Chains A and B, each alone.
Chain A
Amino acid sequence: MDTSIIIKAVLALGGAGLVLGALLAVASKIFHVEIDPKVELIREFLPGANCGACGYPGCDGLAEAIAKGEALSSACVAGGSEIAEQIAGIMGIDIKEEKVAKKALVCCGGGKNEVAHRYIYDGELDCRMAQQIGKGPSLCSYGCLGFGSCAAACPFGAIIMGEDGLPLIDWKKCCGCGVCVEICPRGIIALVSENEEVHVLCHSHDKGKTVRSICKKGCIGCKACEKVCEFDAIHVVDNLAVINHEKCTGCKNCVEKCPTNCITVLLESPHVHPKKQVVTKTVN
């Protein structure tokens, strides 16, 4: 066999590689563009999977946006809270101060003790799957199903399932990313501001009589809150009290008046625990 062809091949490919490599090295010096060193630092911490969940074109795009201050340091959905903290460290921001604007709130008070089930659901413990079977096992077709899809989905480990079957959201950990809002098949999780004090913890559009028969804490649409409100801030729309937070002054008249206690002051809400010390075990 002619061995010269091996030498030729090695020379051709090796030579081409050497020349091109040298060319690239020279070009990178000549065409060097100054970029923010933060971008590279941030880029190192990002997962690098280019999943696009943040809405930016790949991890490079997000790193650039964070460095410019256009995106939050917690914008990486896949990275979770650890990476968000590290990035916030690079940016010199305290992650908890960065976003006080919105937090997740579970707008339902119907836990295990309040709402009965009409059949025994024996499948995968996932709200979205349960919702497929006859619109869920819960008698209330609007309220929390209690299988904890939100807790499993929370990238920051801020949600745990409480003993009453309702999710508990740790507002110290919640970054308001909205993943739980998306995942909830019944759409009962809302992003609310911390300065919006009063909330209706019910999502049911059923008639008052029906609500009364299936849930102890549901809104029955009695309009007592509407009458007691001095600021025209709360209205019963389609059998459910809705608060206009621009008009609400937080006087808490409606909270006292509500016969089923479904209107709650935020910090006393059973589903938020910045005050209550709930055992913060991680959810798998």
Chain B
Amino acid sequence: MERLFLIFLAAFLINNILLIKFIGLCPFFGVSSRFETSIGMSMAVIFVMTLSSVACWGAWNFLLDPLGVGDFLYIPAFILIIASLVQFVEMVIRKVSPALFKAMGIYLPLITTNCAVLAAATESVKPGFWKLSLEYNYGLGEALVYTIGIAMGFSMVIIMFAAMRERIEIAPIPRSFKGLPIAFIAAGLSSLAFLGFKGLFGI
């Protein structure tokens, strides 16, 4: 239990995918200009990341790893799986719940091949992907907690950032800094602040 909590925290705060790993920056800046769209985007990201990580975990443990082809084939295989999964889910949602499709429909295809989703899938299958230590594999529970941590971290940061940008929009800032430039500066400062989580609980 404690281990799961630490995994969650590591994904959520300490290795935050947006502010520490700098992965998934295009939705981070593209969709964070309005509060509502950022919430829609985060919901879609949580949904897609969780689903795709579970699918990729399955593909790794039952197909790629037993065949011994995982080490060099995991990226194309995961892209294939994530893309078809999102397509499939989109079709199902469209048929089953048009309301949900309307709320999430725009964002689903946008994150089909998003790097953040791929990174979450890769990382939950091969932890320490960024450190290149591939000896240890997560179990399904751990992988799930890890992915949800990443997705929640993504959501928290993008929603927080959207709220910040809405305030920046009306703040008196020099003209040349208006819009994206000040957003980049704000993102840099937030990233510095998140560096403070490094070493929390010794992880």
Residues of A in contact with B (beta carbons under 8 Å apart):
5, 8-9, 12-13, 16-17, 20-21, 23-24, 27-28, 31-33, 57-58, 61
Q: How far is the CB of A120 from the nearest CB of chain B, in Å?
A: 26
Of all A-B residue pairs in the complex, the 4 with the closest CB atoms, nearest first, are A31-B95, A20-B84, A31-B91, A9-B69
A13 touches B91 (CB 8 A): no
Residue of A nearest to B93 (CB): A31
CA distance A16 to B83 in the complex (A): 12
A8 and B106 contact, Cβ closer than 8 Å, known pairs A13-B76, A20-B81, A24-B87: no
A16 and B94 contact, Cβ closer than 8 Å, known pairs A5-B69, A24-B84, A61-B106: no
Q: Which of B73-92 contact A (CB under 8 A)?
A: 73, 76-77, 80-81, 84, 87-88, 91-92
Q: How far is the CB of A54 from the nearest CB of chain B, in Å?
A: 14
Residues of B within 8 Å of A28, CB to CB, are 91
Q: Secondary structure of the A side of the interface?
A: helix
Residue of A nearest to B84 (CB): A20
B186 near A: Cβ within 8 Å?
A: no
A16 touches B106 (CB 8 A): no
Residues of A within 8 Å of B80, CB to CB, are 13, 16-17, 20
CA distance A12 to B72 in the complex (A): 12
B68 near A: Cβ within 8 Å?
A: yes
Q: How far is the CB of B109 from the nearest CB of chain A, in Å?
A: 9
- Interface size of B by CB at 8 A reads 21
A16 touches B67 (CB 8 A): no
A33 in complex: contacting residue of B59, B73, B88, B94, CB < 8 Å: B94
**Which of B64, B69, B72 has the most chain A CB atoms closer than 10 A to its own CB?**
B69
A12 touches B88 (CB 8 A): no
A9 touches B81 (CB 8 A): no
Residue of B nearest to A56 (CB): B106
A57 touches B106 (CB 8 A): yes
A8 touches B69 (CB 8 A): yes
CA distance A61 to B110 in the complex (A): 14
Residue of A nearest to B107 (CB): A57
A12 touches B64 (CB 8 A): yes
Q: B94-112, CB under 8 A of A: which get 1 and which 0?
A: 1110000000001000000
B67 touches A12 (CB 8 A): yes
Q: How far is the CB of A129 from the nearest CB of chain B, in Å?
A: 14
Residue of A nearest to B101 (CB): A33
Q: How far is the CB of A57 from the nearest CB of chain B, in Å?
A: 5
Residues of B within 8 Å of A16, CB to CB, are 59, 63, 77, 80-81
B92 in complex: contacting residue of A9, A31, A57, CB < 8 Å: A31
A24 touches B88 (CB 8 A): yes
A31 and B77 contact, Cβ closer than 8 Å, known pairs A5-B69, A61-B106: no
Residues of A within 8 Å of B69, CB to CB, are 5, 8-9, 12
A23 touches B84 (CB 8 A): yes
Residues of A within 8 Å of B84, CB to CB, are 20-21, 23-24
Residue of A nearest to B69 (CB): A9
A5 and B94 contact, Cβ closer than 8 Å, known pairs A16-B63, A23-B88, A24-B84: no
CA distance A58 to B30 in the complex (A): 13
Other A-B pairs beyond A9-B67, A31-B96, 18, CB < 8 Å: A8-B68, A8-B69, A9-B73, A12-B64, A12-B69, A13-B73, A13-B76, A16-B63, A16-B77, A23-B84, A24-B91, A27-B88, A27-B92, A31-B91, A31-B95, A33-B94, A57-B106, A61-B106
